[in-house]
Amino acid sequence: MIGRPMTILLVEDNPDHAELVKRNLEDFQVANHINHVEDGEAALDYVYRRGTYSDHKKFPRPDLILLDLRLPRIDGLEVLKQIKRDLTLQAIPVVVLTTSDAEKDLAQAYEYHANSYVTKPVNFENFSRLLRDLGYYWLAWNKRPW
């Protein structure tokens, strides 16, 4: 990629799903940095640069957040809600990447201003293609104000 390094914050509690996401995004070179947290509380600590995540150089502001919904400690929908109501964070694109295709979850995510809602495909090849396309769209083709 051309320009400044891009950072993705991956919020995923399933280690197998997280590994698939990281491996695919790294293989397709759609991000220079992928920081992974396993629960909603850690996600909020990261974006607010609290505690472990207070080092701005080690944990830069994400250019994109990939957010699972079913998370320990703080639910993904609550994380989304808090990010999007904060004027300093709301411009960060948040893509809900989840196994849930429930209409209620979809509606709630968009009510809280998700930038996209994607259901994880079960098939590995489809999942890989989805991640490649998602990464290229948000980090290469999409124009950002910063």
Asked if the structure places residue 109 within a domain, the reply is yes
Give the domain extent around 87: 7-128
pLDDT at res. 96: 97
- Least confident residue range of 3-7, 20-24, 114-118: 3-7
Asked if the structure places residue 136 within a domain, the reply is no
Predicted TM-score (pTM) of the model is 0.90
Tell me the per-residue pLDDT of 83-137, one tens digit each, with 9 for 90 and over: 999 999 999 999 999 999 899 999 999 999 999 999 998 888 898 888 888 877 8
Total number of domains in the chain: 1
**Buried b / exposed e along 8-29 (16+ C-beta atoms within 10 A):** bbbbbbeeebbebbbebbeebe
pLDDT at res. 4: 60
Asked if the structure places residue 146 within a domain, the reply is no
Output DSSP code: residue 52: G
Tell me the per-residue pLDDT of 23-58, one tens digit each, with 9 for 90 and over: 887 776 655 789 999 999 999 999 999 999 999 989
Asked if the structure places residue 26 within a domain, the reply is yes
pLDDT at res. 23: 85
Q: Residue 34: enclosing H or E segment and its boundaries?
A: strand 33-37
Given a cut of 60, is residue 146 above it in pLDDT? no
β partners of residue 37? 11
CATH number at residue 91: 3.40.50.2300
Asked if the structure places residue 24 within a domain, the reply is yes
Asked if the structure places residue 134 within a domain, the reply is no
Asked if the structure places residue 12 within a domain, the reply is yes
